Amino acid sequence: MEVNADLLSFGRAVRSRRIALGLSQEELADRAGLHRNYIGGIERGERNVGIKAVYALAAGLGCGPSELFSQAAPLR
């Protein structure tokens, strides 16, 4: 499976923020109301995340969606 650069950079931004907060994927999944496997797929750039999931991730990470996108942009 070919990984899209945009999806990978967004996933790296999520992972970076999660690790900075000292959260496991399971803890983030619980906070965001998402499945742990889905979080892993996002972080690996395998999932094209919908807008509802972006908002859920941001809430789980204690930030706004724009912060995730702005952190992802330089990683592209």
At 12-68, the pLDDT tens digits run 999 999 999 999 999 999 999 999 999 999 999 999 999 999 999 999 999 999 999
Q: How confident is the model at residue 76 (pLDDT cuts 50, 70, 90)?
A: low
Q: Give the 3-state secondary structure of 7-73.
A: HHHHHHHHHHHHHHCCCCHHHHHHHHCCCHHHHHHHHCCCCCCCHHHHHHHHHHHCCCHHHHHHHHH
Distance of CA 48 to the CA centre of its chain: 11
What are the chain's domains?
Answer: 5-75 (1.10.260.40)
Amino acid (1-letter code) at residue 8 = L
- pTM of the model as a whole: 0.92
